Amino acid sequence: MLSQPASSVSASAAVRFAICGVGHIGRRHAALVSRHPSAQLVALIDVKAELAPALAVEFPGIPFFTSLEDYLQCGGYEADILTIATPNYQHALQAIAGLRHGMHVVVEKPIALHKHDAEAIVHTALQTGRLVFGVMQNRYSPPAAWLKQVVVEGRLGQVYLVQINCFWNRDARYYQAGGWKGRQQQDGGTLFTQFSHFVDLLYWVFGDITNISARFCDFNHASITDFEDSGLVTFDLVRGGSGTLQYSTSVWDRNLESSLTVVAENGSLRLGGQYMDKVEYCHIKDYQLPQLPPTNPANDYGPYQGSAANHVQVIDNVVETVQKRSFATTNALEGMKVVEIIERIYSLRHL
C-alpha cells in the first residue's frame, strides 16, 4: 500500500501542505510549496511564537500555529500533506498524529530514531491508507541516479568493494548551546542527523548490509555533543562484496568531501566532490559515461553547508504521487530500513 498512488486528491486539485517546523529546512519546504503550480500552502506550525511576524511577511495570509495539536484541533485549514521538519526526536510522534488525522506525511531525515518507532509509522500508514514520504534528497542527484541505473542494469557485474567517505565540518557554529542538535536523546547521533541520506544511498543502490564492525572516535566535539564525531564502519553486502563507511564532522572550517567509490567485476567508478555532486571516475567495460544534468548547489546554512538542495524534486514527487501521476520515490519501509541499519551500527558503540 505504501508505494501505491494516493486516492484523496484529483489530478487537477492543488495539493494542500501544512509545514510543521519552520526552521531553515521547513522554510525551504514552505517557499517551494508556495511557488509550486500544483500545491498550496495552508498552514505553518512552530513552537517558536517569535517567528510569526517574519513568517507573516514571507508568507502573507498563511495562518501560524504554535503547536501541531493546536493546528489539528483548529479545523478550517485542512491539508492533504503534513510536512515534518522538526527536531529528530519529534518526527515519529508527529508523523503518526498526521496520519491519524487523515493526512499523508512528508518526514525530513531521519523518519525516526528507533526502528520500533519507524515500524509504528509504517503500521499507522497501512491502517489509515495514507502515504509516508521520506526526504532522502541524494536520490535526486544526477550522479546518484546514474549510479543506481548502472547497478540495476548489471553493467558492473559482481560488486567487490564499496567505499563511502563523508568528511564534513560541524563545529560550535552548528552545535550551539541550548539547542537539540548534539543531544543524544533528541539528535540520535552523527549518522542520523548528518549522514543518514548516505546510508540511504548505500541501501538504495546496493541493498542491505551484514557482518558490521565499527570504531567510534570523539576528536574535537566532547564539549559540544553527547556522541562521536567520527566513525570507521566495515561491513559485507548481503548481495556479495564488502564495504566501508568512514565519516567525520571534525573537519576544520568547511566540508571536505562526500564520496562513493565502487570496485567491481567489470569496472570501477567514483562519485565525489563536497556533496557527491559529480562523477570523478568511470571506467566500465563496453560503456561510455553519458552527459549528466548538473547537480543542484548545496544547502547553504550560512556558516556551514549541507548536501545538494534537491527539495524541489521531493515536492514534485509528493504532488505527482498524491495526484495519482507517479509513485513515491522514498517510502516509509525504506526509511525504516535506514533507521535499522544505523541502529545496528550504533549498537556497537556499547560493546
3-class state of residue 148 by DSSP: helix
Radius of gyration of the chain (CA): 20
Sequence spans of domains, the chain: 15-134, 138-306
Task: Identify the residue whose cell numbers are 556479495.
Answer: 240
| Fold designation for 138-306 | Dihydrodipicolinate Reductase; domain 2 (3.30.360)
- Answer for the pair 58, 163: CB distance below 8 angstroms, yes or no: no
The predicted structure's pLDDT at residue 350: 77
pLDDT in tens, 194-244: 999 999 999 999 999 999 999 999 999 999 999 999 999 999 999 999 999
pLDDT in tens, 168-192: 999 999 999 999 999 999 999 999 9
Dihedral of CA atoms 86, 87, 89, 94 in degrees, nearest 10, equals -10
State the helix-helix crossing angle for 311-322 and 24-35, rounded to 10 degrees: 50
Q: Which has the closest alpha carbon to 314: 33, 20, 16, 8?
A: 33
Pairwise pLDDT comparison (129 vs 275), residue with the higher score? 129
* Mean confidence (pLDDT) of the chain: 92
CATH 3.40.50.720 for domain 15-134, yes or no, is yes
Which residue spans within 219-341 are E strands per DSSP? 230-237, 242-248, 257-264, 267-272, 278-284, 298-300, 305-308
